[in-house]
Amino acid sequence: MITKPKGTYDVLPGETRRWVKLEEVIRKICALSNYEEIRTPIFEQAGTFHRDESDASDMVNKETYDFLDRGGREMTLRPEGTAGVVRAFVENKLYTNNGITKLYYLGPMFRYERQQKGRYRQFSQFGLEAFGSDSPLLDVDIITTAINLLEALGLKGIKVRINTLGDKESRDAYRKVLVDYFTKHKDELCEDCHIRLAKNPLRILDCKVDKDSKALLEAPKISDYLNESSKKHFEMVKKALDNLNISYTVDEKLVRGLDYYSNTVFEIEYTSTDFGAQNVICAGGRYNDLVSDLGGPKTSAVGLAFGMDRLLLALEHEGIEIVKPKRLHAYLITLGENAFLKGVSLVSELRKGGIMVDMDYNQKSLKAQFKEADKNNAKFTLILGDDELTKGLINLKNNDDDSKTTIELEQLYGYLLTHLPSKKCNVCKEGKE
């Protein structure tokens, strides 16, 4: 038997409905905050992600799916959304509008990782990117939109952690101090941190291996090396979050896995104790140099990415059901050849009129067909036999109260329309539930 690749999973019927619903809620929240969808390729030229030698992130160094296409070109399956969106932003000159460009994306990402609950080789992210302003309040717009999504989904037990990495000047000053400090404490660091020390010493701070070591706990803090404008930026972010009543904690060890961040960085955790280790559901920050790194004009930007798989796992863990059980409006049972044939056109007409209806194509026994109606959780079971058909009648059973009635076939559509709940879809505001 051929099986799925390690680190991937099939989303089966039932589960897909949760994904579609999550996407619907995301799109609605994005529309409310004026973020527009962008769709970029799932693979990009390798250089989009493998930009320079100094990148010490595991994601870029160890986790990408790199391949040569049949023309010998180096390609990479996207491990994250930001680089591709920035590439598209530059290539399509979206910066020429001179204002703020707010984009969102969602879709699969690929990383060669060790599989565990909440960590896969193919997973999905939803992300926001806002270009064209250095305002700390745009950072807050991004964080607020994330909180709005979590509120719309009803997920509780959320913790927001924020930090600042300062602007380039502050970071350079801090980096120098860190290198001196960690060079003195090199013996206390893990092998990976030796590489980080040479490539990107800030990343030592979020090393999972060394996190409780004395060297890390006593390391110099970024807050002591921020210049005035970096301090002001961070103060403004905190003040605006306070005004919005969004609670957060400042975590000076938060530096994020990717190397392109500056100033604000943040993570959102789902804190339920027995959820498991992979509890960071959203992460983001400001990246003022990425657009120019990818060949565009200097453009400030800030963004975030949600792990959609982890978000759905957290909702499940919290017992939050975002979709109702599947329910057909009607299920048609037929008895006899003529009724069977008529049934096909009846079902087709009803479907055109917006009625969710199905029928049995195996012409099973009456009992078996009733079972099918049950299995599909039909509100009405419609029973059409050759006898009724000649009289132009059809039998109906309302499965909510088991009441039965016989009506004229011609009145069926009108009857169903008036007897089905007419709740509008709360996302598109159209149609029957």
Closest contact distance (angstroms) between CB of 311 and ligand ATP is 8
Considering the complex, state which of residue 107 and residue 257 has its C-beta at the smaller distance from ligand ATP: 257
CB of 245 to ligand ATP, least distance (A): 24
In the complex with ligand ATP, the residue whose CB is nearer, 114 or 423, is: 114
Contact status, residue 161 vs residue 248, Cβ threshold 8 Å? yes
Q: Residues with Cβ < 8 Å from 7, sequence gap 6 or more?
A: 112, 113, 115, 120, 121, 122
State in angstroms the smallest separation of the CB of 77 from ligand ATP: 13
The binder of ligand ATP chosen from 56, 302, 305, 394 (CB under 6 A)? 305
Is residue 307 involved in binding ligand ATP (CB under 6 A)?
A: yes
**What part of residues 208-267 is at the interface with ligand ATP (CB under 6 A)?**
257
Exposure on the CB side of residue 232, measured as CA atoms within 13 A: 5
Strands (E), 224-329: 249-250, 262-270, 280-286, 301-307
- When binding is defined by CB under 6 A, the residue of 30, 254, 255, 281 that contacts ligand ATP is 281
Nearest CA-CA partner of 248 in 229, 228, 265, 225 = 265
Q: CB of 327 within 8 A of CB of 381?
A: no
Shortest spacing between CB 314 and ligand ATP, in angstroms: 10
Q: Which residue has the tokens 């975030």?
A: 304
Identify the residue among 283, 290, 328, 416 touching ligand ATP (CB under 6 A).
283
Secondary structure letter of residue 97 according to DSSP: G
Q: 110 vs 331, which CB is nearer to ligand ATP? A: 110
Residue from 27, 28, 51, 119 binding ligand ATP (CB under 6 A): 119
Q: Which of 125, 163, 164, 369 binds ligand ATP (CB under 6 A)?
A: 125
Count of residues binding ligand ATP (CB under 6 A)? 19
Residue range at the interface with ligand ATP (CB under 6 A); choices 42-50, 148-156, 277-285, 337-345: 277-285
Burial category of 252 from C-beta neighbours within 10 Å (exposed 0-12, middle 13-18, buried 19 and up): middle
Q: Does 310 help bind ligand ATP (rule: CB under 6 A)?
A: yes
Residue nearest to ligand ATP (CB): 307
* Beta carbon nearer to ligand ATP, 205 or 283: 283
Q: What is the SS3 assignment for 268?
A: strand
Stretch that binds ligand ATP, among 14-22, 234-242, 273-281, 338-346 (CB under 6 A): 273-281
Nearer to ligand ATP, 23 or 358 (CB): 23
Residue 389 has which token pair?
């058909």
Could you give the CA distance from residue 240 to residue 299 in angstroms, rounded to a whole number?
Answer: 23
Per residue, what are the HEC states of 348-381?
HHHHHCCCCEEECCCCCCHHHHHHHHHHCCCCEE
Q: Which whole-number Å values give the CA distances from 231 to 47, 138, 160, 405, in the listed order?
A: 34, 16, 20, 74
Structure tokens at 5: 């690749």
Query: Which residues, including other chains, have CB under 8 Å from residue 61's CB and lie 6 or more apart?
Result: 55
User: Which position among 35, 89, 104, 123 is part of the footprint of ligand ATP (CB under 6 A)?
Assistant: 123
Stretch that binds ligand ATP, among 17-25, 275-283, 318-326, 408-416 (CB under 6 A): 275-283
Q: Report phi then psi at 235, rounded to 5.
A: -60, -40
Q: How many angstroms separate the CA atoms of 408 and 263, rounded? A: 70
Q: How far is the CB of 397 from ligand ATP (least distance, A)?
A: 46
| 3-state DSSP assignment of residue 332 | strand
CB of 305 to ligand ATP, least distance (A): 4
CA 69 to chain centre: 29
For ligand ATP, the binding residue among 78, 87, 111, 233 (CB under 6 A) is 111
- Smallest distance from ligand ATP to CB 94, Å: 23
Residue 120 contacts ligand ATP per CB under 6 A:
yes
Q: Identify which of residues 197 and 281 has a Cβ nearer to ligand ATP in the complex.
A: 281
The token pair that represents 321 in the structure block:
């059901």
User: Which DSSP string do the residues of 243-257 spell out, in sequence order?
Assistant: HTT---EE-TT---S
Residue 309 interacts with ligand ATP (CB under 6 A)? yes
Q: Which residues bind ligand ATP (CB under 6 A)?
A: 59, 80, 111, 113, 118-120, 123, 125, 257, 278, 280-283, 305, 307, 309-310
